[in-house]
Structures are given as C-alpha cells and as structure tokens.
Amino acid sequence: MQQVKTILLSKSVFEDNDREADALRARLREKGVCLVNVMSSPGSGKTTLLIALICRLMKKYRVGVMEADIDSDIDAVNVARKTGCRSVQLHTGGMCHLDAGMTAQGLNELGDGLDLVFLENVGNLVCPAEYDTGATFNIVILSVPEGEDKPLKYPLVFQNSDLVVVSKIDALPYFDFDMEKCAQYISGRNGAAALIPVSAKTGENMDALENWFINKLSEV
C-alpha cells in the first residue's frame, strides 16, 4: 500500500489572499499543472466521486490529490489505496477552509511532475467559497439527499464554481429531488456553471464528467 503523509498546515502569513492566489495560479500555469478545488457539504460523496473520476483520468494524466480535513486521514488513505495516485492528507488545525498559502504548502508536499491536482476542500458550503485557493477552476458537488434548494441558501459557492456535479443520482427514486428546479436555482446564481448529474456508485453519466475534465484540461 502507498504511504500517505499527513501534514498540519500553518496559518498563512500573507495578508492579501487574492494576490497570493493569483500568484499561485500563475506558477501552476507555468508548470503546466491544473489545480481543481472541490467543494461540498460534509458527506456529499466527494471522496467516492473523486476515486471513480481519478481512475478514469489517470489513463491520460498524472494525477495527485490533496485531502483537507480538520481531523482523520481516512480520505487520503482511501484515495491512495483505491487509485494508486499520489495523495497527501492536509490537516487545517481546526480551520474551516483553505486559502492560497495553505494550498501552496500542500502542493509543495505533493511534489512536482503532475498534470492534474485535485484539492478536496473541507466539507463546508460556506467558508471555502470565500477564499480563493489559487485553483485553476472550482467545482461544487451537491448530493441528491441534500435537496435541490441549496443554491438558494448557499449562494457564493455556486456563484464561484465552474461546474456543479449533482452526485448520488442513484438515490433519486428515494428522495424528493427536483433536478429541473435545481438547474433553475443554479443558473439563477451562476448562468455560466455547467451541471452534470452523476452516480459514482453505478457509473451513470461518469463519461460526461470525464469528458468535461478532458475538454477543460485541453483549454488550460
């Protein structure tokens, strides 16, 4: 089994996070690395989805993952075990989000030679959306059991995301989730965001998600 290192992030020393984020984005562009910031509620199935997606994308790209949590390393261990990709667990020391300085610390730990890095942010729909991590693009995962009204209650994370993935669609028969309303609420917050409903469990529509990434990476 692959070793997974856990690092405790230090608080950033930078006063201007936006400037630091832009600088990080520029450094990543020079190196040819695409960094994807993944946000969602706790328990939306981020890790399961990432595992399924990474197994597909690893055939084309050199992929790494940073798992940010307040505590535990189960996500990083799981990702490393199930995909074999380079993975590091970031502990935020109680912080509810990552900023660009913290993200840079994680990237240093992960090392060079990667095309695509996923940052699984702390499970939280509020605070992570307020801090630019320096990512090339942002995605938000909304799971069917959470309900379609989340874009009404948590506007910023939907405003700041390039893609909304509706996860756990295999559970649609079990929950009252109105996909049409969900699409309306999302486009009310962000007309430019793509919407891809998937099930990592059954594989439904994972092709569309994979293709979205392949297209997006060809533009970077």
Binding site for a second copy (CB under 8 A): 41-44, 69-72, 74, 94, 96, 122-127, 130, 143, 145-147, 149-150, 152-156, 168, 171, 174-175
Q: How far is the CB of 119 from a second copy (least distance, A)?
A: 16
Gap between the Cα atoms of 162 and 178, Å rounded: 21
Gap between the Cα atoms of 57 and 52, Å rounded: 9
Gap between the Cα atoms of 20 and 27, Å rounded: 11
Gap between the Cα atoms of 125 and 158, Å rounded: 9
For a second copy, which is the closer residue by CB, 34 or 151? 151
Q: How far is the CB of 46 from a second copy (least distance, A)?
A: 11
DSSP 8-state class, residue 172 = G
54 three-state secondary structure: helix
3-state secondary structure 75-95: HHHHHHHHHCCEEEEEECCCC
For a second copy, which is the closer residue by CB, 45 or 114? 45
For a second copy, which is the closer residue by CB, 61 or 154? 154
Q: How far is the CB of 10 from a second copy (least distance, A)?
A: 19
Q: How far is the CB of 69 from a second copy (least distance, A)?
A: 5
For a second copy, which is the closer residue by CB, 188 or 203? 188
